[in-house]
Amino acid sequence: MAERMLQFVRLPQATPDKREAVQRRADFGEIYAPFDPKAAAGQASRCSQCGVPFCSVHCPLNNNIPDWLKLTAEGRMEEAYEVASATNNFPEICGRICPQDRLCEGNCVIEPGFESVTIGAVERHITETAFAEGWVKARRPARERPHSVGIVGAGPAGLAAAEQLRAKGYQVHVYDRHDRAGGLLIYGIPNFKLEKQVVRRRVELLEQAGIRFHLGTSIGPDMSFASLRARHDAVLVATGVYKAREMGGPGAGLGGIVKALDYLIASNRQGLGDTVAEFTSGALDARGKRVVVIGGGDTAMDCVRTAVRQGAASVVCLYRRDRANMPGSMREVANAEEEGVQFMWLAAPEAFHGDGRVTGVRAVRMHLGLPDASGRQAVEPIEGSHFSVPADLVIKALGFDPEDLPGMFGEPALKTTRWGTVAIDPRTFMTKLPGVFAAGDIVRGASLVVWGIRDGRDAAASIHKYIEARASVPQAAE
């Protein structure tokens, strides 16, 4: 029976069942069960169908959220999937990993006390229902075009652009230095947030659509950028950002101090069945160790929760601001706390103890000062407040910067900004090189998967206009 809308006055907010912390600490399985169909319809019916849907406004993809919530409440699931997938290439992924508490759900107009609609869980339910019913099909083009596009990077931006361009009939080739497509979706995000089969399932659909993947191929070392440009009518650079931000201080070079992405990639590869020497040797395995993670973003949350599952003796997260000012998802913080992670707010590392290998982190208490030009409060150390935290493994999750792409690609004409990101015309996504476009984190800096999807879609639209507008486009060699 179809649910009436505006049921938030009658139905309390509810999420799918979540496994108990003691159970989920023991494995890397996703922590939320699938939504019961009746419960999902009930939760979707809580939507107020407001005239100005702030959930859509604050979604980078401007998803038509009230529309697919209403369709779900009415039991019209195939239509709900059609609406959800019209603006989002990977709704099953966004429903799992988007920080909804900071985006759509965080801007729901339902007043505090009634609480927002559980948008992310319903989005996941819609897509998983669609997969189960066989409604999700590869987007094969109605007609083939002779023109080809080369995409560097098989992460969210690159894959979204690839699907959009292939649907228009272009011959799409995706190049990636890793041995699996998906980028950080495969190697950076742990299974308990995004099981790898979810990504593989989507990549298989892209392959069925006719997208060709060239994996284990690094532009620069394996193929010159010049030859890539010669091979295709347009090129999209969507490499993401992987270069870890460093921190200094006494003892910063001690053994046992590792980069967050190295740690997460090793764990994910181990879970995929690869032999990882650093994991086998114990260098990137937290089992039995006192772990300290430095940082407060989503990557830091991935690290602390991975360490718990690897069997760490203790896990501490140091963050120099308070809970309210941390950039990571509040939902992830709550999950981490349930799993036994200790958070030390307003604490900044100053030095590392140890003789060859790290044995502890010396930190100082901080307090929030006046807002800076951006409106964010500055942090200042409290004199005489130093303390130490024992540590056998320290994981630096301080964010990521772009690598030197002009140097890597051997293409000095590929201009970058003062932040090292690729410089583009924001209206067209084109770089200073004709026919070369860029999108995703390599343009905007380390950001969210949903922004990568948005950029990939927009860049694909610009590439299509560029190729269509050319008076004569020579067919690229296969």
HEC sequence for 218-254: CECCCECHHHHHHHCCEEEECCCCCEECCCCCCCCCC
The helix (H) or strand (E) run that includes residue 213 is strand 212-215
Sign (positive or negative) of CA dihedral 263, 267, 268, 272: positive
* HSE-up of residue 382 (Cα within 13 Å, Cβ side): 14
More confident residue, 478 or 418: 418
Whole-model pTM over 0.85? yes
CA gap 348, 108 in Å, rounded = 34
The chain-wide mean pLDDT, for the chain, equals 94
**The pLDDT value given to residue 477:** 44
Give the CA angle between residues 204, 60, 150 to the nearest 5°: 45
310-335 pLDDT, tens digit each: 999 999 999 999 998 888 888 999 99
DSSP labels, 25-90 = TTS-S-SBPPPPHHHHHHHHTT----SS-HHHHTSTT---HHHHHHHHHTT-HHHHHHHHHHH-S-
CB of 104 closer than 8 Å to CB of 59: yes
CA gap 175, 213 in Å, rounded = 6
Domains delineated in the chain? 7-133 (1.10.1060.10), 148-241+402-469 (3.50.50.60), 244-396 (3.50.50.60)
**The pLDDT value given to residue 471:** 44
Lateral strand order in the sheet of 377-390: 347-354, 358-371, 377-390
93-113 pLDDT, tens digit each: 999 999 999 899 999 998 777
CB of 179 closer than 8 Å to CB of 471: no
Nearest to 195 by CA among 290, 284, 131: 131
CA gap 188, 303 in Å, rounded = 10
Residue 472 pLDDT > 60: no
151-207 pLDDT, tens digit each: 999 999 999 999 999 999 999 999 999 999 999 999 999 999 999 999 999 999 999
CA gap 308, 314 in Å, rounded = 8
When pLDDT is cut at 50, 70 and 90, the band that residue 476 belongs to is: very low
Residue 469 pLDDT > 60: yes
Helix axes 260-271, 298-309, angle to 10 degrees: 50
**The pLDDT value given to residue 327:** 86
The helix (H) or strand (E) run that includes residue 361 is strand 358-371
Q: Which long-range contacts (CB under 8 A, 24 or more apart) does 470-474 make?
A: 473/147, 473/233, 474/233
Mean pLDDT of 13-19: 93
Nearest to 102 by CA among 249, 294, 271, 298: 298
Nearest to 215 by CA among 187, 182, 177, 183: 177
Mean pLDDT of 445-472: 93
Residue 261 pLDDT > 50: yes
